[in-house]
């Protein structure tokens, strides 16, 4: 149980990537008043946690009703991630998410899609599909992941001030490159899965 819980936690941390999203968090939270920062962070993390929980229990049924596949979900995640990565590498006056946030973020884009994005949704869906009897472990791993994300959000601006704006911007561009590679990998994987499905359908 311990090894499964640890591996699940590591997987969720890699997918949600709180350290990789560090520069984005700084950008989104910079205009939030200090006295409201904790409340905003807890609210956004709670919304993301709730969305992931709902998708964990009802995601497969939702995809079935909407006639969507896990492959299309993965491709959508790759497209969104690629667009975000491009704005991290080539900064835009309107910000990473395509708009200048002069007030605190509300659900979009912090809770969704940065925390509870398509890749995270697809991952929890896959974990439940592979091990429906391991629901308590998956739930525990998701809880630990959200705690790490909250701690990262709380410390993002302070760390940014310590290392300085040039270092933060350089790290943002570096993570943009990494996110671009991840996005391309997600797209290629989705296209490959789709090609396999088409080939099987043609054979049948």
The domain spans of the chain are: 2-203
- Please determine, for residue 1, whether its predicted confidence score (pLDDT) is greater than 70: no
Identify which of 24-33, 49-58, 169-178, 190-199 has the greatest average pLDDT.
49-58
Between CA 96 and CA 104, with CA 159 as vertex, the angle to 5 degrees is 45
Encode pLDDT of 56-77 as tens digits.
Answer: 888 778 778 888 777 777 787 7
Q: Is the peptide bond before 171 cis (omega within 30 degrees of 0)?
A: no
The residue assigned the tokens 């008043």 is 33
Encode pLDDT of 41-54 as tens digits.
Answer: 999 999 999 999 99
DSSP lists the bridge partners of residue 106 as 108
Q: Model-level pTM greater than 0.85? A: no
- Please determine, for residue 100, whether its predicted confidence score (pLDDT) is greater than 50: no
- Please determine, for residue 176, whether its predicted confidence score (pLDDT) is greater than 90: no
Question: Going by C-beta distance under 8 Å and a sequence separation of 6 or more, which residues neighbour residue 111?
Answer: 44, 45, 47, 48, 51, 105
Q: Which residue, among 160, 82, 67, 90, has the nearest Cα to 117 in the 3D structure? A: 82
User: CA of 34: how far to CAs of 152, 161, 169, in Å?
Assistant: 16, 14, 22
Q: How high is the mean pLDDT of the chain? A: 81
């Amino acid at each position: 149980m311990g090894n499964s819980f640890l591996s699940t936690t590591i997987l969720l941390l890699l997918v949600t990537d709180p350290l990789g999203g560090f520069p984005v968090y700084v950008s989104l939270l910079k205009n939030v008043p200090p006295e409201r920062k904790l409340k905003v962070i807890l609210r956004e993390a709670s919304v993301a946690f709730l969305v992931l929980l709902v998708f964990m229990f009802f995601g497969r049924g939702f995809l079935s009703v909407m006639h969507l596949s896990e492959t299309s979900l993965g491709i959508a995640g790759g497209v969104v991630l690629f667009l975000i990565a491009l704005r991290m590498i080539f900064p835009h006056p309107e910000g990473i998410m395509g708009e200048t946030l002069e007030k605190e973020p509300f659900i979009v884009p912090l809770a969704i899609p940065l925390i509870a994005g398509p890749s995270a949704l697809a991952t929890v869906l896959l974990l439940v599909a592979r091990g429906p009897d391991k629901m308590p472990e998956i739930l525990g791993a998701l809880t630990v992941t959200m705690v790490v994300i909250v701690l990262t959000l709380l410390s993002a601006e302070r760390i940014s001030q310590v290392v300085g704006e040039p270092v933060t911007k350089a790290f943002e561009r570096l993570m943009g490159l990494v996110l671009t590679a991840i996005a391309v990998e997600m797209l290629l994987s989705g296209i490959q899965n789709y090609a396999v499905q088409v080939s099987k359908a043609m054979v049948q």
